[in-house]
Amino acid sequence: MDASEALQKHAQRPDEYPLTEVTVNGVDYLAFGDHAFKKDTLTSLEVYPHNGQEFYSLESLVCFLKYSNEGHGFYVKEAAAANVRAVTRIDRKNVTNFLKGDGSEFSGNLSMESGISLKQLTQGFEPPEAKKPRLDVDEATTTVPTADQNAQPEKKKEEVEIRALNNDLTKDRIAEMRRKRQKNLEKGIVNIDESLSTLTSASLPKTRIHRTRENVMLGVRDLSNVLEVIQSAQRQWDIDEKKEKVAAVHSIAGGRDQQQQRSGYSRYAQEAFAHEKTKEIQTEGSFIGSNLTALKQGNSAPNPTPPSAFRPPIAPVIPKPTTSSTLATSSSGKRASRSPIIIVPSAMNTMVNLYNVRDILQNFQFVSVEQRRKETNKKPQDLAIQRQKNGTTYNIRVIDQAEKLGSDDWDRVIGVFVMGVGWQFKGWKWNGNPTDIFTHVPAFHLYFDSNKPCPQVMQWNCQKIPISATKRHMDKAKFQAIWEQIEHFVRKHKPHLNQRLGLH
């Protein structure tokens, strides 16, 4: 039985093949039942990219089996603390399937060595005569426990040979460390995992429980009435909003009635005087004042008709109610945004969209859409990313619905990410023709370097950017090149956006 087979049987039947760590003559062994192997024994499981040059060691897979139920980040930290090689994220699924009994993922050509019997291993290195327990004990020297003594016999401690490991860990130092550990065991220090349910502030006043997302949400307060309070407040807000709308309508109607009761003629309300006689209409009257000659003379000429007689009364200014709909209209209609715009695909089967565009363009690190989708409950509709330039932060708007952009908005588009299909440009400017779009706007296409771009993308005038599937340290240079292309395009074709991007 080789090391890989023994580890697989231990993972499936731990009771029949228990794991034991043994040190014999300064060499560490891992025993599965009666089969012992050295810790650094290589298994048949290859390391990615599975070229037959590197294999995982036995202690590396044992450490992975111990923390297989934990997160990958936690496991990597524990493997680094144990000074063993960690199983990569790519091989994680294959190693798990192998331990469960499916070894079809690995076809290593490494010649495996059979294990050593644990009994023979331990018997082959017997302690010297000075350390052996005496077996020829005279019956007269044996003592029988009396009634006053403890009825249960004490367990005999196994004698283990102590050897110096190096200059620092001498025999005396190791013996002192063992005595200190034995004292701690005799004091009865409680394991945290076993007594976590019994720990209270009264028993351990100086102990603080580690706070996580799970135990923070476990509280004693009843928050079932929170939704009722929010619903009642929402109903009150709706009632107040309706009252404000009704009051605004009545105020506008009252202002119109008051405006119709004016005396005199106004060219801005000729319909109100259509029923009156023509001789009463003074066409020279105006609310502006006198003519140009009167202004030159300093209003010295007599004015037969005072301007106030013909000036229409000014209707009272009624402030509009500040409702949510009014704010939305003013923010989207009257106050147009001036931030530059970047367009990303709206589909899920792409390498960049609104889920992970902040990681790519702001944090310069590639994170897959699937990972961000699991962490985020709702897809963002309109996103703003920040760009640091010369110590100043600039905001760039990112959208995935380009068909809603107007002609002025297209003048602020500084980049487009394409996914390789023609229907992405349906409803866009320039009749959705990719050739015309990429002439006016710089385009980028992300793909893994292990694959090839789509054949249709190869015919387009867009920047092809390969991304490594494993080497995350190369992401920053790739994504900074995207910003360099965008800034070069803005300086040359859209200089009115230089100030918005901190360019000179």
Residue 203 confidence (pLDDT): 53
Residue in 360, 344, 502, 330 with CA at minimum distance from that of residue 413:
344
Task: Tell which CATH classification among 3.40.50.2300, 3.40.30.10, 3.40.1380.20, 3.40.50.11990 matches the domain 339-501.
Answer: 3.40.50.11990
What's the rounded Cα separation, in Å, for the pair 331 and 349? Answer: 33
CB 89, CB 69: distance < 8 Å:
no
The token pair that represents 25 in the structure block? 């003559």
Summary mean pLDDT of the chain = 76
Greatest CA separation for the chain: 151
- Return the higher-pLDDT residue of 179 and 143: 179
Does pTM top 0.85 for this prediction? Answer: no
Least confident of 16-25, 41-50, 298-307: 298-307
CB 54, CB 44: distance < 8 Å:
no
Cα dist. 494→160, 344, 350, 404, 440 in Å?
81, 20, 29, 21, 10
CB 118, CB 35: distance < 8 Å:
yes
- Return the higher-pLDDT residue of 83 and 342: 342
Residue 273 confidence (pLDDT): 54
Residue 309 confidence (pLDDT): 45
Residue 166 confidence (pLDDT): 79
- C-alpha angle 454-456-459 in degrees, rounded to nearest 5: 115
What's the rounded Cα separation, in Å, for the pair 35 and 353? Answer: 53
Residue 266 confidence (pLDDT): 59
pLDDT over threshold 90, residue 267: no
Residue 319 confidence (pLDDT): 47
Question: What are the domain boundaries of the chain?
Answer: 3-123, 339-501
Q: Write out pLDDT tens, residues 167-176.
A: 777 888 888 8
What's the rounded Cα separation, in Å, for the pair 312 and 357? Answer: 57
What's the rounded Cα separation, in Å, for the pair 347 and 128? Answer: 74
Confidence of residue 358 (pLDDT cuts 50, 70, 90): very high
Residue 492 confidence (pLDDT): 93
What's the rounded Cα separation, in Å, for the pair 416 and 267? Answer: 52
Q: Work out the percent of the chain whose per-residue pLDDT is above 70.
A: 70
Q: Write out pLDDT tens, residues 443-477.
A: 999 999 999 898 889 999 999 999 999 999 999 99
Q: Work out the percent of the chain whose per-residue pLDDT is above 90.
A: 25
Residue 357 confidence (pLDDT): 94
- Return the higher-pLDDT residue of 203 and 488: 488
Confidence of residue 39 (pLDDT cuts 50, 70, 90): confident
- CA-only gyration radius of the chain, Å: 41
Q: Write out pLDDT tens, residues 120-169.
A: 777 765 544 545 555 544 444 444 444 444 444 444 455 567 777 777 77
Confidence of residue 213 (pLDDT cuts 50, 70, 90): confident
Confidence of residue 10 (pLDDT cuts 50, 70, 90): confident
- The torsion angle over the Cα atoms of residues 75, 79, 84 and 87, rounded to 10 degrees, is 20
Give the mean pLDDT of 320-338: 48
pLDDT over threshold 80, residue 331: no
DSSP states along 351-390: S-STTTHHHHHTS-----HHHHHHH-SS--SSEEEEEEET
- Return the higher-pLDDT residue of 113 and 289: 113
Per DSSP (E only), the strands in 390-462 are 392-399, 413-417, 443-448
pLDDT over threshold 90, residue 301: no
- Return the higher-pLDDT residue of 191 and 430: 430
Count of helix runs (H) and strand runs (E) in the chain: 19, 12
